[in-house]
Structures are given as C-alpha cells and as structure tokens.
Amino acid sequence: MRCATAVALLATVMSVSVVLHAGAHRPLVKLPRAAALHKTDTWPPTPQATGAANLTAILTLDGPFRTFLGYLQQTNLVEVFQNQASLTDQGIIIFVPVDKAFAAVKPSVLSGLSSLQLKNLMMCHSLAKHYELADFEGLSRIGPVTTFAGGLCTVNVTYDAGTVHVRSRWADAKIVGSVSVEAPMAIYELDRVLLPATLFRAASRPSR
Ligand SMILES: *[C@@H]1O[C@H](CO)[C@@H](O)[C@H](O)[C@H]1NC(C)=O
Ligand SMILES: *[C@@H]1O[C@H](CO)[C@@H](O)[C@H](O)[C@H]1NC(C)=O
C-alpha cells in the first residue's frame, strides 16, 4: 500500500515535470474527468460537490498533506475553499506544502500565530481563481499575485525552464507535484511553507 502510494506519487511528480517542460506548447495535458473522479473516491457525489472534487478526501488520500489539512480544518477553511471551487465561476488554486515543509518551520513560529493569522497564512496558499499550468508563465510576468488572503499576502510566481516557484518574503517554494490540475480546483504540492512579510518580521525569521 505504502509502496503503491509512493509509485503513484512518483508518477505524479514525473508527469508534472513532463507537463511543465512542455509548458510552452499548447495544448497541455489535462486529466480526463474519470481520473479526477477516481481520485476523490467518493461516488456518488453529494449535490454540493458536483462542481468540484472533495478537498478533504483528496488531501487525505493523495499525499503527505496531513498538516496542511489539519490547519485548514482548524481554521474552518475547508468549506470556504470548497465553496470557492463549487459555487463561483472563478475556481481555485491551492498550493499545499508537504508535511516535511511544515516540519522545517520552527514550531514556535506557527504556534505563535493567532487563529486569525493562521487563517491568513492558509489563505496565502491559495489563489481565488483557477489557472491552467500554462498560465503560470504569464503570471510570472505580472509581478506580485494577490492570494486568497487579499492584500495581506501576495506571492510572486516565477516560471523558469519548466520549474514553477512561488515566493513570499521568507520562503522560496517550488511546485514539486500536481495533485489535481483540472478546473475548478487545482492542487499543487509545494516543498516549502509560504511565509509572508505581513505575518513574519525579520526579527522572527521563521526558517530554520
Ligand atoms: C468529503 O470527504 C470527507 C472525507 O472522506 C467526508 O467526510 C465528507 O463528508 C465529504 N464531503 C462531501 C461534501 O462529500
Ligand atoms: C516580487 O516581485 C517584485 C517585483 O515584481 C519585487 O519587488 C518583490 O520584492 C518580490 N517579492 C518577493 C517576495 O520575492
């Protein structure tokens, strides 16, 4: 089981790098609908969930994302993100740092945040619009991108030779895999937690 998961994960990482390297050429590979449904493992879908896959189920089943999911639940953002995907025509992108990324942040840094700050930090990991992977190249040219946290957190997306980085003041995170790319809810895997200047000052520099 563990082994199968690792193989699946490797395949995901490999396929995203293939997609990224092919990024200059349209059309990009899109997951067929059936694959997206299979990933959620919830059939039949409940009426509210018809437009988008089940975020909780995806983060539970598809990777080392327990820490991020835990914080989303703690800050009541699962439904907010899910609704952004299902009830708006904008969709959503969620950048999910892997568990190891959270482990690399000093424990006092995250535990020192108020619940509102923690919520803003989680929202900093999301864009209130679905972009295709190919759009990241364009995003990298427009400068700071406003996240779901609005003015409290902007990130710079950079696209360089097939590698996409998402940068905040104290973190340079790289997209290391794609969990789901299809609209309305795309989920990408980051190797670092985004740490915006509005939440963290130089004095309490959060990385180890
Ligand atoms: C989403 O999945 C979770 C965990 O599998 C489940 O508890 C929840 O009821 C599902 N939500 C919807 C709207 O299907
Ligand atoms: C984002 O890019 C702008 C220039 O477009 C730069 O001024 C700013 O420092 C960058 N921010 C980060 C966190 O890299």
Structure confidence by residue, pLDDT tens digits, 144-153: 999 999 989 9
Is the minimum distance from the CB of 70 to ligand 2 under 6 angstroms?
Answer: no
Percent of the chain exceeding pLDDT 90 equals 53
Ligand that comes closest to the CA of residue 165: 2
pLDDT digits (tens, 9 = 90+) for 182-191: 999 999 999 9
Fold of 2-204: FAS1 domain (2.30.180)
The span from the CA of 127 to the CA of 154, in Å, is: 10
Domain boundaries, the chain: 2-204
CA of 1 to the centre of ligand 2 (A): 42
Contacts of 20 (CB under 8 A, 6+ apart): 133, 162, 163, 164, 175
pLDDT digits (tens, 9 = 90+) for 106-141: 888 888 899 999 999 999 999 999 998 888 989 999
Nearest CA to ligand 1 atom 4: 57
Ligand that comes closest to the CA of residue 57: 1
Name the residue of 50, 54, 65, 73 whose CB sits within 8 Å of the most ligand 1 atoms, as the mutation to test its pocket.
Answer: 54
Angle at 58 between CA 54 and CA 62, to 5 degrees: 170
- The pLDDT value recorded for residue 51 is 57
Is the minimum distance from the CB of 156 to ligand 2 under 6 angstroms?
Answer: yes
Buried b (16+ CB within 10 A) or exposed e, 98-127: bbebbebbeeebbeeeeeebbbbbbbbbbb
Among the residues of the chain, which ranges form H helices?
2-21, 33-40, 55-61, 66-74, 78-87, 99-103, 107-111, 115-123, 135-139
